Every structure is written in structure tokens, then in C-alpha cells.
Homo-oligomer: A and B are copies of this chain.
Amino acid sequence: MEYFLSLLTAAAAPPPPSPAPASTAPHNSTQMAFPVFTRIRLAQPTDVPQIHKLIHQMAIFERLTHLFTATEASLSSVLFKSPPFQSVTIFILEVSSQPFIIEEEEDLINNSPPLYQPKFQTANLDHPIAEDPEIETFKSLNSGDNVVIGGFALFFPNYSPFLGKPGFYVENLFVRERYRRNGLGKMLLIAVVKKAVEMGCGRVEWVVLDWNVNAIKFYEEMGAQIQHDYRFCRLTGDAFQAYASTN
């Protein structure tokens, strides 16, 4: 089970229940929408507390908190040790009710192209950001006020010997509950795929649950092939640790 659930839930969850109409808005046949600004950027070390909380939310959602042993320290010990895209890499999705101020000072100081040029898009939410009950918890420390972290994608390089090319494996694609069903998961996945193409990779891979027909349909529409005859094998826990003492 684990976090793969979140990948498909975030990207292609079932249609939302009809929202309660806002009291000041007129009733009509189209769903209420609140336009917001979004930015996808590389995670920074200062994002670790919120990344840890996001991963914990995945564990709650997937009823796997008994498997959740990551700490902020264990995340920090692995993340940001290599340049992005060469090892574990995280894209943070931010949402804001105000346009982002594009900050280029750091790039100008270094006089080099940034490791990842953030992607800016607008989206329509079905609730205003101000109604986010976790707005304080997920306020982005790396951005201005009114910027909230809505989700993230965690991925790392893999390799296709047949193609002789690297690729990306998307381990997590998570959008916080309040922000789901607004296309934000798709934005994150496309950002990963576009970066892979730009880097000369040969493919992007991930895992989905077989019963999530909405997600499978969405991935197929994105052009992915579902490998129905593959089975994922995992050696972990005590059975894994026992190999310490084998010859």
C-alpha cells in the first residue's frame, strides 16, 4: 500500500462532492472557483519540517502510521546531499492568493543559471486559501507571506540499460486534502516529466494501485503504459535485516 496511494489520489481522485455554495456568491450551474497563483520550485533544507509533516499526512491517509519512522533528522541526512536531479529530489508546490514576486538575486550573484527555473501557473481552487485550516502549519518559509505549501513530488533518478539512458522514478506525488481535485497533482507530475525530457532522460516511471481506475485512466491519457503483468517485490523489515548475518 504505502505512499503510492497518495500518488494516484492526488493526481486523479474521484470527483469532489458538491461544495456548499459560498454565502455571498450567486448560485449557478458551474462549480465555484477561486483563482490562485501556483509555483513549483525545488525544496530547500528549510522546507524539511513541512516535508516531514506532508509525509506524515500521507501515512495517516494511507493508514500506515505504524510504518512511519522518518524524522526531520533522517530526512535531512539524505536530502540535499547531492545536486538536485542526481539523487532524491523534491518539488514543492506553493499556492498563493497573490502573484509571486520572481526573485533572481541569488542567480545574479552566482552568475549562473538556476538549478531549476520555478514554474508559475494559475489554478482554480474550489475553496479560498484563507479557509485552509492548516494555513499556519504549511506557510512556506521560503517565500513571502500568503504562500502556502499545497503538495510535493519526491523523485530520484533510475536507469534503463535497454535505452542506455537515465530516467526518473516518482516515489511520491502528494497534494494536501484541501487542495485536491484542482489539477495540482497533474501540474507536479508534468513538471517532473518535463524536467526529465529536458535532461535527455528516456522515461519516467511510478506505481499505481490496480483498483484506482480513475488514476489509471488519467495516467493513460497522459501517455503512460500500465504494465499489467509486472509485480512489485519488496524486501524490507526483519526479513531484510536478517541478511546481515548471511554469507
Chain A residues with CB under 8 Å of chain B are 1-4, 55, 58-59, 64, 67-71, 74-75, 77-78, 82, 86-88, 121, 154, 156-167, 169, 171-172, 190, 193-194, 196-198, 202-211, 216, 219, 222-236, 239-244, 246-247
Contact = CB atoms under 8 A, between A and B. Distances in A.
A171 B1 CA distance: 21
Contacts of A157: 87, 156
Grouping DSSP codes into helix (H, G, I), strand (E, B) and loop, the A interface class, with mixed when no group exceeds half, is: mixed
A125 to B, nearest CB: 20
Contacts of A230: 4, 207-210, 231-232
This chain: copies in complex: 2
A226 B229 CA distance: 13
Contacts of A216: 231
B231 A226 contact: yes
A188 to B, nearest CB: 13
A235 B205 CA distance: 6
Nearest to A209: B229
A68 B202 CA distance: 12
Given A164-B70, A203-B236, A88 B223 contact: no
Contact of A158 (B67, B169, B239): B169
A162 B233 contact: no
Contacts of A86: 82, 87
Given A159-B154, A162-B64, A162-B68, A210 B193 contact: no
Please list the 7 inter-chain residue pairs (A to B) with the smallest Cβ-Cβ separation, ordered nearest first.
A223-B239, A70-B164, A74-B164, A203-B236, A227-B232, A224-B235, A230-B232
Contact of A159 (B59, B156, B165, B211): B156
Given A70-B162, A164-B78, A203-B236, A211 B193 contact: no
Contacts of A194: 243-244, 246
Contacts of A234: 203-205, 224-225, 227
A235 B64 contact: no
Given A165-B74, A244-B197, A231 B233 contact: no
